[in-house]
Amino acid sequence: MAVITTVLVIASSLTAYGAYHDIYGNINQETIDTDAMGERPEKIEGVINILMTGSDVRSGANAEYGGDDIEGERPDTIIIAHISPDHGATLVNLPRDSLLQLPACSPIDDKEGYAAHQGVINSTVAFGGMQCLWKTVEELTGIRLDHFVSVDFTGFIEVVEALGGVEMCIPEPISDPKAHLELDAGQQVLDGEQSLGYVRSRYGQGDGSDLSRIKRQQDFMGAMLRKATSSEILASPANLHDFLGSVTDSITTDDELTLERMVDIAITMRETKMSDIRFITVPNGLHPDNENRVAWSEPDASQLFAAIAADKDLSSSDDEDGESDDSGNDDSGDSSEDDTATVEPAVVSVEVINGEGTPGLASDVGSQLTERGFQVVGAANPQGTVPEQTTVYYGTGHQNHAQTLADELATATTAEDPTLGSTVKLVISNDWNGLSESEEAVLPDSTESKTAEKQTNACS
């Protein structure tokens, strides 16, 4: 929130750049050694991806918001802010309770690091620092990060106070002692303490889950952005100076996020409207091994990350319900259906065979097909004769599965192989010319999206 509001404000007041240069010195900065991360996702020219976290550190002025039994820093909020020169800004929430296969992180400073294991994503900072979270997010999403911004409890309060509060609709009275929050229902302006309680509250609102809290946080971020870019802030040099001072005094960033870099981001966002800023939560469901944890739904999550990594236009998903069955799939893949009926990629199981000879080609093609929603079950070299033309082989009754895959390839034919079951086999030959050009990104049905233009549960 802090960096997005800051760049939007700076974007509206670039002539005041010199006046605010001294404010930049307030920012706490940390070095991130990206060279130590090994191979990283590809950089897209002009695109900026910022890892944003709401820190729950309980030391110093933050001590009153929790006890000493909290083990290390575990971010309450984890967001990838994707800033595009062509498509505005997309903020993707990664639920803090996501139970995932975490890559290994080396010890750093006072952090002990750990071996690769299954763990909760917000534990990475406690045991590996911000560098570990950065590496983890890049490896799990395939999105290259450029910067990070973190704000703690007291910093959040100061930013809200500098805005003069944030107006929100409270649909029902809230009583949540754990979040130090008591609110009446109705449209009202929340001060800093109330705002912190509102975005932290779980058990006094909704179903008590982190996922419902994320939805409220997205509404709050939209309201905060609208207030920060309002004429009330922009028209007053004093208000603008106080706001930027509070923001920069309240955040920690990587040491590459200089004031000059912030201005670059501001220039990228100069024409950005509230309708161009969207909030998305990674598709998810209950973890099969732990009902108190979240699992990212596949292939939907990979499809979302691939669209963001490639800077696709996601606006078609804005303000849609996005709610479907938990799997994000339909039942069109039932093998008892007519074998000429259209099926979705999500129900097509594919084995990729590299008959063209380029090392690693089958694996690369498999990754591309996964990004397009197919279920890739294996990649291998051929055993036997390779056809002259790239061919999708299918078992009896699965011609529709083969055709769905062939339609995604620049050059391919289909052929029946009665020895195959429900999995189709793509055999790449010397005529291979890659996948066909994909249409603009269409997000999976399970992806929920909203813009910063308005609060979804407004009182009016």
CATH number at residue 354: 3.30.70.2390
Identify whether residues 388 and 306 lie together within a single domain.
no
What are residue 428's phi and psi, to 5 degrees? -80, 130
Identify whether residues 366 and 308 lie together within a single domain.
no
Identify whether residues 310 and 166 lie together within a single domain.
yes
Identify whether residues 279 and 139 lie together within a single domain.
yes
What are residue 30's phi and psi, to 5 degrees? -135, 140
Residue-level pLDDT at 237? 67
Residue 102 falls inside a structural domain:
yes
Judged by average pLDDT, the poorest of 192-206, 260-274, 292-306 is 260-274
Residue 51 falls inside a structural domain:
yes
Identify whether residues 234 and 170 lie together within a single domain.
yes
Residue 186 falls inside a structural domain:
yes
Residue-level pLDDT at 283? 93
Residue 202 falls inside a structural domain:
yes
**Closest by CA position to 199, among listed 135, 235, 155:** 155
Average pLDDT over residues 75-83: 91
What is the C-alpha to C-alpha distance for residues 361 and 281, in angstroms, rounded to an integer? Answer: 32
CA 200 remoteness from chain centre: 19
Residue with tokens 């009902």: 291
Residue 249 falls inside a structural domain:
yes
Structure tokens at 194: 């109330």
The sheet with strand 375-380 has its strands ordered as 375-380, 349-354, 424-428, 391-394, 413-416
* pLDDT tens digits, 114-169: 999 999 998 999 999 999 999 999 999 999 999 999 988 888 888 888 888 999 99
Give the amino acid at 447. T
Identify whether residues 23 and 170 lie together within a single domain.
yes
Judged by average pLDDT, the poorest of 82-91, 199-208, 226-235, 319-328 is 319-328
* DSSP designation for 443: -
Q: Locate all alpha helices (DSSP H) within 206-314, ordered by sequence.
A: 210-228, 231-234, 237-250, 259-268, 300-309
- The more confident residue out of 159 and 242 is 159
- pLDDT at residue 25 is higher than 80: no
Q: Are 193 and 180 in contact (CB under 8 A)?
A: yes
Identify whether residues 48 and 83 lie together within a single domain.
yes
Identify whether residues 351 and 311 lie together within a single domain.
no
Cα–Cα distances (Å) from 422 to 17, 209, 335, 351, 397, in that order, read 62, 38, 8, 11, 8
Task: Please tell me whether the peptide bond between 299 and the residue prior to it is cis, using omega within 30 degrees of 0.
Answer: yes
Q: Are 57 and 252 in contact (CB under 8 A)?
A: no
Residue-level pLDDT at 325? 38
| Residues present in the chain in total | 460
Judged by average pLDDT, the poorest of 52-66, 129-143, 252-266, 350-364 is 52-66
Other CB atoms within 10 A of residue 255 CB = 12
Degrees, nearest 5: CA angle 84-283-425: 95
Residue 38 falls inside a structural domain:
yes
* pLDDT tens digits, 298-308: 889 998 999 99
Q: Are 426 and 350 in contact (CB under 8 A)?
A: yes
Structure tokens at 387: 């056809």
* pLDDT tens digits, 391-423: 999 999 999 999 999 999 988 999 999 999 999
**Closest by CA position to 134, among listed 30, 286, 281:** 30
Residue with tokens 């706490």: 28
Average pLDDT over residues 346-356: 93
The pTM of the whole model exceeds 0.85: no
- pLDDT at residue 191 is higher than 50: yes
Identify whether residues 93 and 20 lie together within a single domain.
yes
* pLDDT tens digits, 38-67: 899 999 988 999 999 987 654 444 445 454
Structure tokens at 22: 């001294």
Q: Are 307 and 90 in contact (CB under 8 A)?
A: no
Identify whether residues 311 and 354 lie together within a single domain.
no
What is the C-alpha to C-alpha distance for residues 50 and 3, in angstroms, rounded to an integer? Answer: 9
What is the C-alpha to C-alpha distance for residues 190 and 196, in angstroms, rounded to an integer? Answer: 9
Identify whether residues 286 and 359 lie together within a single domain.
no
Average pLDDT over residues 413-440: 88
* DSSP designation for 120: E
- Among candidate residues 280, 300, 318, the one where a domain is terminated: 318
Identify whether residues 22 and 89 lie together within a single domain.
yes
Into how many domains does the chain fold? 2
Degrees, nearest 5: CA angle 171-177-181: 45
Residue 274 falls inside a structural domain:
yes
Q: Locate all alpha helices (DSSP H) within 41-175, ordered by sequence.
A: 124-141, 153-162
Cβ-based neighbours of 38, under 8 Å, separated by 6 or more: none
- pLDDT at residue 335 is higher than 60: no
What is the C-alpha to C-alpha distance for residues 378 and 363, in angstroms, rounded to an integer? Answer: 8
* pLDDT tens digits, 196-231: 999 888 877 877 788 888 888 899 988 988 887 776
Residue 414 domain boundaries: 345-428
What is the C-alpha to C-alpha distance for residues 92 and 438, in angstroms, rounded to an integer? Answer: 22
What are residue 358's phi and psi, to 5 degrees? -70, 125
Q: Are 337 and 109 in contact (CB under 8 A)?
A: no
CATH number at residue 24: 3.40.630.190
Q: Are 99 and 287 in contact (CB under 8 A)?
A: yes
Average pLDDT over residues 170-199: 91
Residue 243 falls inside a structural domain:
yes
Residue with tokens 């990754």: 367
